[in-house]
Amino acid sequence: MIVAEPRILSEEWKLIGRQERTGTGGVVDLLAIAPDASLVLIELKRNKTPRDVVAQTLDYASWLQELDAEQVRGVYERFRPQRSLEEDFRDRFGHELVEDEINNTHQLVIVAAELDTRTERIVRYLEGWEVPINVVFFQVFSHRDDRLLSRTWLIDPADVQVNASTFVRRDKEPWNGEFYASFGHGANRDWNEAVKHGFISAGGGAWYSRTLKLLERNDRIWVKVPEYGFVGVGRVAGPRQVADEFQIDGHSALDVLKAKHHRDEEDPERREYFVPVQWLHTVGLDEAVPGMFGNQNTVCRPRAPKWRTTVEELKAAFPKVE
């Protein structure tokens, strides 16, 4: 069912492998890729004892972390012969697959109908130490002539996504307290409007908008527009708000802004969400500071040394920072 319709598991991932052998006697049920080129290992709890499935998933994770970009392409070639991972990734997510970002980190997902309390404690313990692991429960119900499928996550996917985005295998270091934010300038949102009215926003799927919940008042964010560079730094002025509720000068933001954003979405997970920002220093796209650290997550708390050095360089490029 998941292979036939992957969106029942998540609308945010693309399946790239199935029944992939680890070389040490194991077989990974499913492998997916996220918009930031991180990988998602999906293990199905079929005829396995609860503790066995967690141990097995962690064992497979040790195989997963060693996959390089070429090996990931090989996994996809076996799953979709004669297809290009780069082309299919671009078609699915709307941006290029950067080789250096492939499998920089990963998530572990166990699919189950139920879980005993001992195994739940183990999973929550691992998550507490920021291991990006989660369990999704599926149950089938009958209603008249219909069969309904329900999906429930053990841990908020936003928390696991955050753990994955900050989980660095070999060079992890303490977070420096500075947030990274990606702003998708284009038809759906406009950087000039974000500067004028004081906000950042994201929408089109929970993967893009949920990490906005990480931000709290007075947090400092460094904003990068993909394909341009860093364009601003500011202080968060309030919590995440859905587009219909976000106000600009006493008016609904969607009545003021000219960019499309994600309006009138029936699915709340696809709606546009805004976070108010008090800008400390901004520049236009033609003055963006290029290169340095990048990440497809809308907001993250990077722990890579490259982020620390990036912030140090940005402080020189944005002298108005307090």
> pLDDT tens digits, residue range 114-158?
888 888 899 999 988 889 999 998 888 888 888 888 888 999 888
Look at 198 and 204; give whichever has higher pLDDT: 198
Confidence (pLDDT) at 2: 87
For the CA atoms of the chain, what is the radius of gyration?
A: 21
Distance separating alpha carbons of residues 168 and 97, to the nearest angstrom? 19
> pLDDT tens digits, residue range 4-54?
888 888 888 999 999 999 988 899 999 999 998 999 999 998 756 667 889
The beta-strand segments (E) located in the chain are: 14-21, 27-33, 39-44, 106-112, 133-143, 146-153, 179-182, 199-202, 220-225, 229-236, 241-242, 247-248, 251-252, 273-282, 299-300
Question: What would the 3-class secondary structure string for 222-283 be?
Answer: EEEECCCEEEEEEEECCCCEEHHHCEECCEEHHHHCCCCCCCCCCCHHHCCEEEEEEEEEEC
Residue 49 CB-half CA count within 13 A: 4
Confidence (pLDDT) at 265: 67
Distance separating alpha carbons of residues 57 and 247, to the nearest angstrom? 45
Check residue 37 and report its DSSP letter.
S
Confidence (pLDDT) at 75: 96
Is pLDDT at 176 greater than 70 in this prediction?
yes
Q: Scan for tokens 């199905």, then name that residue.
A: 44
Mean pLDDT value of segment 99-111: 90
112, 116, 122, 126 alpha-carbon torsion, rounded to 10°: 30
Assigned token pair, 186: 């284009």
Is pLDDT at 67 greater than 70 in this prediction?
yes
Residue 240 CB-half CA count within 13 A: 17
Using a 10 angstrom Cβ sphere, with 0-12 exposed, 13-18 middle and 19 or more buried, the burial of residue 187 is: exposed
Is pLDDT at 306 greater than 90 in this prediction?
no
Distance separating alpha carbons of residues 233 and 179, to the nearest angstrom? 10
Is pLDDT at 166 greater than 70 in this prediction?
no
- Which amino acid does the sequence have at 292? M
215, 34, 208, 140 alpha-carbon torsion, rounded to 10°: -100
Strand 146-153 relative to strand 133-143, pairing: antiparallel
Assigned token pair, 236: 């968060």
Q: Average pLDDT of the chain?
A: 89
Assigned token pair, 124: 């929550």
Confidence (pLDDT) at 322: 65
Q: Which residues of 7-40 are buried (b: 16+ CB within 10 A; e: fewer)?
A: eebbebbbbbbbebeeeeeeebbbbbbbbbbbbb
Cross-sheet strand order for the sheet of 39-44: 14-21, 27-33, 39-44, 106-112, 133-143, 146-153
Closest CA to 221 of 231, 201, 203, 236: 236
pLDDT band, very low/low/confident/very high, at 230 (cuts 50, 70, 90): very high
